[in-house]
Amino acid sequence: MSKPITDFDINTLDPFEALVWQYEMGVDEAIADEPLDRFKASESLSRNAANRPGFAAPNPRAGRNGSAPSPAARPAVAPATGAVPMPPGADGGFLLSDTPHEARQSARDAAAAATSLAELKDAIEKFEGCALKKSASNTVFGNGNVEARLVLVGEAPGAEEDRQGQPFVGPSGKLLDAMLRSIGLSREEVYITNILPWRPPGNRQPTTAEIAVCEPFVRRHLELIGPKVVICLGGSSAKALMEEDRGITRLRGTWKEMVFGDGAKADLTAMFHPAYLLRTPEQKRLAWRDLRAVAQKL
């Protein structure tokens, strides 16, 4: 632990101490060669968001994975149109090129052109419309039984998933395994993927634009597998796939029909994210209830 820095003047600091201090403050990875003024980006996002009815700026301090933030603190998702709304400038500076709309359209085109999971994986790995790819170590596509009747969709890879290139291999993955076992399922029998294939730096909450841009890939992913039941793990996943602006506390345990482009259908539900359950074990009671409902559906 470095000694606390009270009178902050970066120019008088020993460079090593300054580095240690930054690390302890959570600055644990370099994202780009040039600094970005995030305050400016979030100011313009808030201004744009404030001008649009039903749209709230993402809260960068909100926890990942299903902590149940107030509806006002989270972006709304358009009801039943299949499109996540994006205000101009909502990329928060995280998109590599194009506008979010262009990036989303190119994700749609690439996803639609993929006729197999291998082609879809290739398309995602080649996709340049989301800057998260730049800071991630690996693309986390998904894994499990490609003929599974049950697919689980998380939010985004964490540190361990980013290192290994596989979904849910960290602490929340261990709890997820136990949850599946409680209804007699193993990892080998289900398929697991995420809304975002790349880890947001420092595990921050994904932005609305990142989710909107990557969403066509996850929809095509599901379509190519053709499951009977899809579980959204956590609020981001539930809002995107259920096309709802309600939080996970309200969405969990509810069911919706998901209709794919080819006309196939799946039963879609949501439950608390395992990472949230690790932090809030008293909510496990509700998670087991939701799991039993899934078992019955299957």
Closest CB to ligand URA among 42 and 205? 205
Closest CB to ligand URA among 156 and 287? 156
Build a one-symbol-per-residue string for 52-91: x at contacts with ligand URA by CB under 6 A, - elsewhere: -------------x--------------------------
Closest CB to ligand URA among 58 and 157? 157
Instruction: Give the shortest CB-10-to-ligand URA separation in angstroms.
Output: 34
**In Å, how far are 86, 93, 97, 104, 217 from 45, measured between CA atoms?**
10, 10, 18, 18, 25
Indicate the pairing of strand 265-271 with strand 255-259.
antiparallel
Which of the residues 218 through 277 are near ligand URA (CB under 6 A)? 275
Task: Report the alpha-carbon distance of residue 9 to residue 132 in Å, rounded.
Answer: 31
Residue of 268, 137, 131 whose CA lies nearest to 207: 131
Helix (H, G, I), strand (E, B) or coil at 220: helix
Closest CB to ligand URA among 75 and 87? 75
Task: Report the alpha-carbon distance of residue 146 to residue 136 in Å, rounded.
Answer: 25
Query: Do 243 and 78 meet the contact criterion of CB atoms below 8 Å apart?
Result: yes
Query: Do 2 and 21 meet the contact criterion of CB atoms below 8 Å apart?
Result: yes
Instruction: Give the shortest CB-205-to-ligand URA separation in angstroms.
Output: 11
Instruction: Give the shortest CB-161-to-ligand URA separation in angstroms.
Output: 4
Task: Report the alpha-carbon distance of residue 139 to residue 124 in Å, rounded.
Answer: 8
Q: Which residues contact 282 (CB under 8 A, 6 or more apart)?
A: none
Closest CB to ligand URA among 164 and 182? 164
- Give the long-range contacts of residues 174-182, CB within 8 A, separation 24 or more: 175/274, 175/277, 175/278, 176/152, 176/233, 176/274, 179/274, 179/287, 179/288, 179/291, 182/288, 182/291
Closest CB to ligand URA among 21 and 276? 276
Residue 101 belongs to what H/E stretch? Answer: helix 100-113
Task: Report the alpha-carbon distance of residue 173 to residue 236 in Å, rounded.
Answer: 17
Answer for which of 42, 67, 139, 194 binds ligand URA (CB under 6 A) is 194
Instruction: Give the shortest CB-236-to-ligand URA separation in angstroms.
Output: 8
Build a one-symbol-per-residue string for 140-159: x at contacts with ligand URA by CB under 6 A, - elsewhere: --------------xxxxx-
Closest CB to ligand URA among 158 and 201? 158
Nearest residue to ligand URA on Cβ basis = 154
Assess 172 for contact with ligand URA (CB under 6 A).
Answer: yes
Assess 161 for contact with ligand URA (CB under 6 A).
Answer: yes
Assess 168 for contact with ligand URA (CB under 6 A).
Answer: yes
Binding site for ligand URA (CB under 6 A): 65, 154-158, 161, 167-168, 170, 172, 194, 275
